[in-house]
Structure 1
Amino acid sequence: MHSKTTPLSIEGQSWNEYTLKNDNGMSVSFLDFGGIITSIVTPDKDGNFENVVLGFDDYKDYLNNSNYFGALIGRVSGRIANSTFSLNGKEYQLPENEGKHHLHGGPDGLHSITWQVELVETATSTGAVLYHTSLDGDAGYPGTIKYKISYTLTNDNAFTIDYEAFSDQDTILSLTNHSYFNLTGNLKETVLNHEVKLDASQFIELDQELIPTGRLLPVTDTVFDFTNGRKLADGVDSGDPQNKVASDGYDHFFVFDHKAEENVVVTEPTSGRKLTVKTNQPAMVLYTGNSVDDSCTLKERQSEKYLGVCLETQSTPASLNYPGFPSIELAKNEVYRHTTTFTFSTLS
């Protein structure tokens, strides 16, 4: 197990790319800029090592990463309706960056800052700790927040992201990672043939602007029922009004039942790759890259719609407007602590 650091000069900025590699040859590479995961290299069923996430060919393109490829997301992942929220009787105004709404922490969110990185190696893992302090008032949010986010790779081919944060005031916080996974390897095909299984019997309805309506819907008898596994293509071809509002795909918040051993299982039949996700987050946004066009030059090819699937474990900003949803409020001096583990294997 070992790590490697590669200095980069990008448009006058000094970045570093770090590569974590385990004894099996699996590796995870990421930037200190945005904490962005640039590649994850894993074997297929025949032992061929290939990249299974979307990443730019030219790193300067991460400066305008409107698809949030691989990035850490915060202060709040998802869309805050009308870029405003109330907390303790006070109203806060946030910058608009998707129409009139506030998306993924705004234009200057965690995806666009440079993190302090400390590499950490043990007998059983290789990893890094990313640190950042966000001052009170950043992007309109209350509270100075100290972040500590850990990336850890083990010989079980498990990659874990541990999120920790601490605020000196009551605030709102919901962190996630925005990697687009494609288990075909080196982006050979879209993800439409990927089969996904979710431990989730409910999802949140969206309006035409992808803002939650406040309705929690059962997945039963719909193409949102992934409890027994289904191909992502089902939602693209369904004609379901909820798939239509998401540009013929999924961009929906699924609430985990937390009954199964794994929250998410993704398999790709041709490569034989399997990805399992375990988390203590209450839910996840399943996003099938519906808004990704062909304008991005990625490491292996030009981008296109449905080329990757995001598994964004998180809480929901819908809780700011509607009761009964997983809360994103963080009390003063309370520690925010969530973990998500992505484990890669092959079908037997």
Structure 2
Amino acid sequence: MTIEESTFGHTKENKEVSLFKLSNGFEMKVEILNYGGIIKNIFVPDRYGKVEDVVLGHDDILGYEEKSDYFGCIAGRFANRINQGRFYINGTQFQLPQNSNGNSLHGGVKGFDKQVWEAQVFNRGKEVGVSLFYLSKDGEEDYPGNMKCWVTYTLDNSNQLRIEYRAETDKTTIVNLTNHTYFNLKDGGETNILDHNLRIYASHYTPVDSNLIPFGTLDSVEDTPFDFREFAPIGDKIDQEHTQLVNGGGYDHNFVLDKNNGECNLIASVYEPISGRMLEVLTTEPGIQFYSGNFLKGDIVGKNNVPYEYRSGLCLETQHFPDSPNHKQFPSTILNPGEQFESTTIYKFGVEP
């Protein structure tokens, strides 16, 4: 188990950005930036032992600053969308920046994905990692409260990447944190992900309007294109004439996880048949946003000069539900002083024969 630190570059504000290389000795390597807490690379072997990068991203810091579509980042202070950027706490209205079709998305104009975090590395023998810290000040992106946030990435010798989130505040606020990595288990984004087989342990999902804001209902996946309770190729039903697929441009929906007991449960799996690679997702969160890369259009050139074309990556963002502050029936995203927000997600990699 090893960890190395190097300089990745400097932001346009001349802040130094560090790159942390984690290796477990079993051919799995993970590279993380303290800019946005970004997972830059994940190298894992296929069924033949060939080690390749399986996530989308950029080769330099300027790409992440100017061209990135949230590749690999920590999304916060509130991941996903808030309707019109507006919510209430104890009767007081808060108005956030509207950075996506009149709504607030992933924390606003300069969310956690665009911040340089403090970093501390560790090596515990059987696992290595980096712990990131960021203080989101009262009023930043118009959120209330000074919120301290810690995100720790840990790689172990069983090819598991664990992400642990923790936050506390001095004023009542809202929080919803996730990682926004785009996966392509076949070739890291050179081709589309429609042949990937997906399973999500969810009997319901939250349907959305044309701006991807939930109506507030929990609809059954039964007899719909959203039924991934058994493995199915992502491309099988993605282009069906279904209102929700039209609204999302494909899959861009929150799935309500069947196992919601606060424990870190297996809630999703992805299998890519050509490489044999398997990704399992475990989380303590109540929901997962499955996004099929519908807004990728080939105009973003990523690592190794690869243009990321339509649906060349998929995201599995473990989180609370979108627009939760405006739906009392959804699990609460309120964080009060004296409380701690805690969440864990694990990405586990393997191969099938």
TM (norm. structure 2) is: 0.95
Q: CA deviation at 1:80?
A: 0.5
Per-residue CA deviations over 1:66-87 (Å, capped at 9, x if unaligned) read: 5100010100001110111100
2:294, 2:76 → 1: CA distance? 21
Structure 1 contact 235–250 (Cα < 8 Å) conserved: no
Correspondence for 1:332 among 318, 321, 337 = 337
Structure 2 contact 45–51 (Cα < 8 Å) conserved: yes
Q: CA deviation at 1:130?
A: 0.1
Matching residue's letter, 1:93:
Q
2:246, 2:125 → 1: CA distance? 49
Correspondence for 1:285 among 285, 289, 294 = 289
Matching residue's letter, 1:322:
H
Q: Hey, what does 1:275 align to over in structure 2?
A: 279
The residue matched to 1:263 in structure 2 has which SS?
strand
1:237, 1:317 → 2: CA distance? 23
Per-residue CA deviations over 1:302-338 (Å, capped at 9, x if unaligned) read: 1111111001000024322223212211122111000
1:209, 1:60 → 2: CA distance? 29
Per-residue CA deviations over 1:117-155 (Å, capped at 9, x if unaligned) read: 000110110101001111111111111111111000001
Q: Hey, what does 2:215 align to over in structure 1?
A: 213
Q: Hey, what does 1:253 align to over in structure 2?
A: 254
Correspondence for 2:347 among 335, 338, 342 = 342
Correspondence for 1:231 among 226, 230, 233 = 233
Q: 4+ runs of 1 displaced by more than 3 Å?
A: 10-13
Identical aligned residues as a percent: 37
2:189, 2:65 → 1: CA distance? 22
The residue matched to 1:337 in structure 2 has which SS?
strand
Per-residue CA deviations over 1:53-106 (Å, capped at 9, x if unaligned) read: 001133311112451000101000011101111001100011110121100000
1:110, 1:235 → 2: CA distance? 34
Q: CA deviation at 1:13?
A: 3.5
Q: Hey, what does 1:195 align to over in structure 2?
A: 197
Q: CA deviation at 1:15?
A: 1.0
Structure 2 contact 57–68 (Cα < 8 Å) conserved: no
Please list every run of 5 or more consecutive structure 2 residues that lacks an aligned counterpart in the other structure: none
2:164, 2:5 → 1: CA distance? 21
Per-residue CA deviations over 1:217-264 (Å, capped at 9, x if unaligned) read: 1000111000012111124221211011111x1000001001895200
Q: Hey, what does 1:265 align to over in structure 2?
A: 269
The residue matched to 1:117 in structure 2 has which SS?
strand
TM (norm. structure 1) is: 0.97
The residue matched to 2:98 in structure 1 has which SS?
coil
Matching residue's letter, 2:295:
S
Structure 2 contact 129–152 (Cα < 8 Å) conserved: yes
Structure 1 contact 235–243 (Cα < 8 Å) conserved: no
Structure 2 contact 288–316 (Cα < 8 Å) conserved: yes
Q: CA RMSD in A?
A: 1.4
The residue matched to 1:211 in structure 2 has which SS?
coil
The residue matched to 1:206 in structure 2 has which SS?
coil
2:346, 2:203 → 1: CA distance? 21
Structure 2 contact 122–130 (Cα < 8 Å) conserved: yes
2:247, 2:188 → 1: CA distance? 30
2:318, 2:9 → 1: CA distance? 32
Structure 1 contact 200–226 (Cα < 8 Å) conserved: yes
1:3 aligned onto 2:9: no
Structure 1 contact 145–166 (Cα < 8 Å) conserved: yes
1:235, 1:159 → 2: CA distance? 30
Please list every run of 5 or more consecutive structure 1 residues that lacks an aligned counterpart in the other structure: none
Structure 2 contact 86–95 (Cα < 8 Å) conserved: yes
Correspondence for 2:31 among 29, 32, 51 = 29
1:89 aligned onto 2:91: yes
1:35, 1:240 → 2: CA distance? 36
The equivalences for 1:114-125 within 5 A come to 114-125=116-127
Matching residue's letter, 1:323:
K
